[in-house]
């Protein structure tokens, strides 16, 4: 079924068309929609999740594994992983994770951004510059110091690291981007997925011990470190898969009569159990509550979660909707239901863009002819 093109008309351009023009545009949109391969769109959407979102989280997990306090024997820099998604409580970009080193009276911060895809490294730099601008503010540094229980210490250095995969850096040369970086201490590290090592690929390191550690090389195997499945703001699929699996597994282990049904508080507890954040108190509660609401609404939108009390057998708030009973089947159903809904929408968006471009050209040619 071909969708209505008006749902993709974000700028309300179709309102300006006459009835005859609108009919012509609708015909053109339908032709464009049918010409776009559905399977290709579906694969593109899967790649965005599997090769984009998941890989970004895996990069964050590798940093946690490399610098977690329980793995200090692997890294001699003295820097330790502190928390994920810095400054998320303020709604601003503070990078994907923070590692730090506290000396007797000084504090050394290291903000890491994880990137995927090397087609446009300038996008990486724009993000680093934005993060640097945020972290450079005095009130932000005071906030980070307080979250690190180091309010009495002076921030002696701030390091910015862009972490990318080896496949993203095959033709990378830092000299091509270094002049665009506003941060004084910025470098690019490579995550070698085959050897599970970090490698320095260019830029400046503020702390000599960190320089020595990366030059010697050390593995980032995550033995003993916590598992990272998602960050604040990650695509909802990642959390839905993990939390849904865990909840159903727990309920079935308890011989629960309705293992697919759950309360919001259960979902929240499972969701936040995999997070380590710097935010505290009410700010922490707000961040987690907002994320839980976003993820649950996404589940409802893709028809994976039911929130209608008349459709729920117990007194719980929600019900996971999928064929089968096993937790693994619920995990697979998330992606399947997402693709079922999103493929048609993405196909429609692409068709609208193509049709609009072609229609504008026809209009332009007609204007020239009339002149």
DSSP SS3 for 84: strand
Region of residue 78 (phi > 0: left; psi between -120 and 50: alpha; otherwise: beta): left
List the structure tokens of 159. Answer: 């390091």
Which pLDDT score is estimated for 186?
93
List the structure tokens of 52. Answer: 């984009």
DSSP SS3 for 174: helix
Laid out side by side, the sheet with 154-165 consists of 80-84, 97-102, 106-114, 154-165, 186-192, 197-203
Quick one: pLDDT band at residue 371, thresholds 50, 70, 90? very low
DSSP SS3 for 111: strand
Backbone angles phi and psi of 168, in degrees to 5: -80, -10
Name the pTM for this structure: 0.88
Torsion of CA 296, 86, 193, 211, to 10 degrees: 180
Which pLDDT score is estimated for 216?
65
- pLDDT tens, residue by residue, 342-367: 999 999 999 999 998 888 755 544 44
* Domain boundaries of the chain, sorted by first residue: 5-35+336-370, 43-216, 236-321
Question: For residue 241, what is the enclosing H or E element?
Answer: helix 236-253
Per the CB < 8 A criterion, the answer to whether 260 and 318 are in contact is no
- pLDDT tens, residue by residue, 228-258: 999 999 999 999 999 999 999 988 888 777 8
Which pLDDT score is estimated for 222?
53
Using CA atoms, how far residue 141 sits from 89, 116, 147, 234, 248, in Å, is 14, 28, 10, 25, 41
pLDDT higher than 80, residue 86: yes
Mean residue pLDDT across the chain: 88
Which burial class, exposed, middle or buried, applies to 127 when counting CB atoms under 10 A from its CB (0-12, 13-18, 19+)?
Answer: middle
């Amino acid at each position: 079924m071909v969708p209505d093109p008006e749902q993709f008309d974000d700028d309300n351009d179709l309102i300006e068309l006459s009835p005859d023009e609108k009919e012509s545009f609708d015909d053109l949109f339908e032709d464009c929609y049918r010409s776009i391969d559905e399977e290709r769109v579906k694969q593109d959407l899967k790649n965005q999740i599997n090769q984009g979102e998941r890989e970004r989280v895996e990069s964050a997990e590798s940093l946690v594994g490399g610098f977690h306090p329980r793995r200090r024997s692997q890294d001699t820099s003295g820097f330790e992983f502190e928390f994920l998604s810095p400054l998320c409580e303020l709604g601003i970009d503070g990078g994907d994770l923070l590692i730090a080193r506290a000396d007797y009276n000084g504090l050394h911060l290291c903000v890491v951004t994880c990137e995927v895809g090397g087609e446009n490294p300038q996008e990486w730099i724009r993000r680093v510059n934005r993060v640097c601008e945020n972290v450079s503010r005095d009130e932000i540094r005071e906030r980070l110091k307080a979250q690190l229980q180091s309010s009495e210490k002076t921030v002696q250095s701030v390091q910015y690291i862009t972490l990318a995969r080896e496949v993203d850096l095959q033709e990378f040369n830092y000299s091509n981007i270094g002049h665009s970086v506003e941060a004084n201490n910025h470098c690019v590290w490579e995550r070698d997925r085959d050897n599970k090592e970090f490698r320095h690929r260019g830029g400046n390191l503020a702390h000599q011990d960190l320089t020595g550690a990366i030059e010697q090389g050390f593995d980032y195997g995550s033995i003993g470190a916590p598992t990272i499945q998602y960050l604040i703001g990650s695509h909802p699929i990642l959390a839905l898969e993990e939390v849904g699996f865990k909840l159903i597994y727990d309920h079935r282990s308890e011989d629960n009569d309705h293992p697919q049904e759950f309360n919001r508080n259960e979902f929240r507890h499972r969701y936040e159990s995999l997070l380590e954040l710097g935010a505290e108190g009410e700010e922490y509660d707000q961040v987690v509550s907002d994320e839980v609401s976003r993820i649950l609404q996404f589940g409802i939108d893709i028809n994976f979660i039911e929130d209608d009390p008349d459709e729920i057998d117990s007194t719980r708030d929600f019900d996971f909707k999928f064929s089968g009973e096993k937790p693994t089947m619920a995990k697979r159903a998330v992606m399947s239901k997402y693709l079922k809904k999103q493929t048609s929408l993405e196909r429609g968006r692409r068709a609208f863009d193509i049709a609009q471009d072609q229609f504008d050209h026809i209009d332009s040619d007609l204007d020239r002819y009339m002149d």
